Amino acid sequence: MGAKLTTRRLGAAAATVVIALLATACTGSHSETASPAANGGSAAGSAGGSAGAPASASPTPDGPVVSISPAAGATSADPSAGVTVTAAKGTLSGVTVSPVGGTLLNSGNPSGPVPGTMNSASTSWHTQWALGVSQKYTVTATAKLNGVTKTTTSTFTTLSPASTFSTNIFEGGGQTYGVGMPVRLLFSQPIRNRAQVERALEIKTSKPVVGAWYWDNSETLVFRPRDYWPENTSVSFTGHFDGVQGAKGLYGFHTLTQSFRIGQSVIAVASTKGHKTQIYISGKLKYNWPISTGKPGDETPNGSYLTIEKANPVEMKGPGYDLMVPFSVRFTWSGDYYHDAPWSTGVQGSANVSHGCVNLSPARAQTYYNLAVPGDPITIKDSPRAGKWDNGWTEWFLTWRQLLAGSATHQAVQAGPSGSTFVDAVTLPASTAKAPTGTAASGIWGTGPK
């Protein structure tokens, strides 16, 4: 996989540390301090007090009123709820949430504060991501009202989950993929709180991209662009899973990061009826080659597929044959390839004689093999046989509307150099991409998801 995975192991040793922490240092604290002006006096003292005595720490009724959740002293706070700071009276001028000891995996800066966002009125602040599990935090909030500045602090500890999930990403670090490649995530446990998990995901792209998350099943989640990725796009993924509640009592305990690249656009379109395949490179038709596809009874299935893997050679077995086939590029799990087929060159361009694969001459097969990387689009059309969902990477069988329906949020994702946000799809400009070079002609090629 090649993913960079930072994990917090909750073994026996960690449990001992947590127990000791709760017993000795995690009782929590809560304090409030106000400026001298809050008492109507000066730093030299106030009526009824001796000169030089410290000002009272109690705010006047005219001062700000601040509340912090989780409550001070909590020892099993739900990390998925994050931190909320609210000024019932006054406005917030600053909030800092910092881990106490240990390493904060979700902060983006392990030694620094937890990121969060303030509302436009500066009356409410909330953490951007979930908090880490088994972690002690201190919250410091400063608010102002009528010239009175008050600072409130609170300390609490998040729970230690009894059950956790981990996540893997298919894309390898620094690897290059085709313009159709989805971001593919696999979870170790079934996910029920799917919207919460989606909102823990962040994508940064060097070029603007619109897409959506799609749940293929309870353990598989993919991000597919609405149209093909722009070629030569750098992609960085961060899964802020630490503290996310994936199902009742089931929490993530790590942050997953990965960076990879979308390379040159290489798109193949094959007609089983026309006995030709077109190869488009960087949006322009480069090759128009004769082919032979599946014979009657073994028809190559229609579909908008992606290249999965390639090898030179691949052993192919079937009724009456066992061959080592050079320059083979796979696009279905059932065993359909673009490959070298010197035995069928005499009928390539005029007849279908294969067992389901797309036959090419040796030189053409080698040319395509050298171009192909995982995620390059392959479209098979004009076949009497429908493709099947999940027989390969079949996300491009889906229309944009179907893709959105498979998201727990039912929202689109806008990504760019500064990160990603969820948006209502109806607010987006209509796509101008055209098949076959800009997007797939989806929805007509095969059976959809069940």
pLDDT tens digit sequence for 354-365? 999 999 999 999
C-alpha to C-alpha distance for 355 and 7, rounded to whole angstroms = 46
Residues 152 and 291 in one domain: no
Cα separation values, 138 from 3, 31, 39, 73, 113, Å: 32, 11, 27, 10, 10
Q: Is residue 198 part of a domain?
A: yes
Evaluate whether residue 268 is within a structural domain.
yes
Residue 433's CB is within 10 A of a number of other CB atoms, namely 13
Quickly list DSSP for 150-211: EEEEEEEEB---SEEE-EEESSPTT-EE-TTPPEEEEESS--S-HHHHHTTEEEEESS-EEE
Higher pLDDT, 27 or 283: 283
- Predicted pLDDT of residue 225: 98
Say if residue 105 is in the same domain as residue 210: no
Coil, helix or strand at residue 367: helix
CA 25 to chain centre: 36
**12 φ/ψ angles, rounded to the nearest 5 degrees:** -60, -40
> Is 47 a domain residue?
no
Mean pLDDT of 194-221: 98
If asked whether residues 284 and 369 sit together in one domain, one would say yes
Name the residues annotated as catalytic.
339, 357
**DSSP-derived secondary structure letter, 443:** T
Q: How far apart are CA 440 and CA 450, in angstroms?
A: 21
Q: How far is CA 444 from CA 48, 81, 164, 361, 387, in A?
A: 85, 43, 40, 29, 10
High-pLDDT (> 90) share of the chain, % = 80
At residue 201, does pLDDT exceed 50? yes
Could you tell me if 110 and 32 lie in one domain?
yes
Residue 1 within a domain: no
Q: Is residue 24 part of a domain?
A: yes
Q: What is the pLDDT of residues 24-68, one digit of tens each?
A: 333 344 555 554 443 333 333 333 333 333 333 344 567 999 999
Among the three residues 129, 157, 185, which one is the final residue of a domain in this structure? Answer: 157
Task: Give the pLDDT confidence score for residue 25 in this predicted structure.
Answer: 33
pLDDT at 406 over 50: yes
315 occurs within a structural domain: yes
Residue 390 has pLDDT above 50, yes or no: yes
In terms of domains, do 198 and 346 share one?
yes
- Residue ending a domain, among 157, 181, 202, is 157
C-alpha 137/C-alpha 158 separation (Å) is 8
Contact (CB, 8 A) for 280 and 264: no
Q: Which of 157, 190, 225 is the last residue of a domain?
A: 157
Residue linked to tokens 């322009």:
284
Shared domain for 217 and 74, answered yes or no, is: no
How many domains is the chain partitioned into structurally?
2
The parent domain of residue 75 ranges over 12-38+57-157
Do residues 182 and 144 share a domain?
A: no
Residues 250 and 343 in one domain: yes
The answer on 312 and 427 residing in a single domain is yes
173: domain CATH number is 2.40.440.10
Report, as an integer, the average pLDDT of 182-192.
Answer: 98
Does residue 2 form part of some domain?
no
Q: Are residues 282 and 329 in the same domain?
A: yes
Same domain, 291 and 418: yes
In a domain, 119, yes or no: yes
Residue 273 has pLDDT above 50, yes or no: yes
Q: What is the pLDDT of residue 308?
A: 98
Q: Residue 291 pLDDT > 80, yes or no?
A: yes
Does residue 229 share a domain with residue 122?
no
Q: How confident is the model at residue 319 (pLDDT cuts 50, 70, 90)?
A: confident
Per-residue model confidence (pLDDT) at position 441: 86
What is the amino acid identity at position 216?
D
Contacts (Cβ under 8 Å, ≥6 apart) of 258: 2, 3, 4, 169, 171, 172, 173, 236, 237
Give residue 62's pLDDT.
76
AA identity, residue 263 = G
List the CATH number of the domain containing 77. Answer: 2.60.40.3780
Pairing type for strands 148-157 and 328-330 reads unpaired
Q: Within 10 A of 82 (CB to CB), how many other CB atoms are there? A: 20
Given a cut of 90, whether residue 324 has pLDDT beyond it is yes
What does the DSSP 8-state code read for residue 109?
S
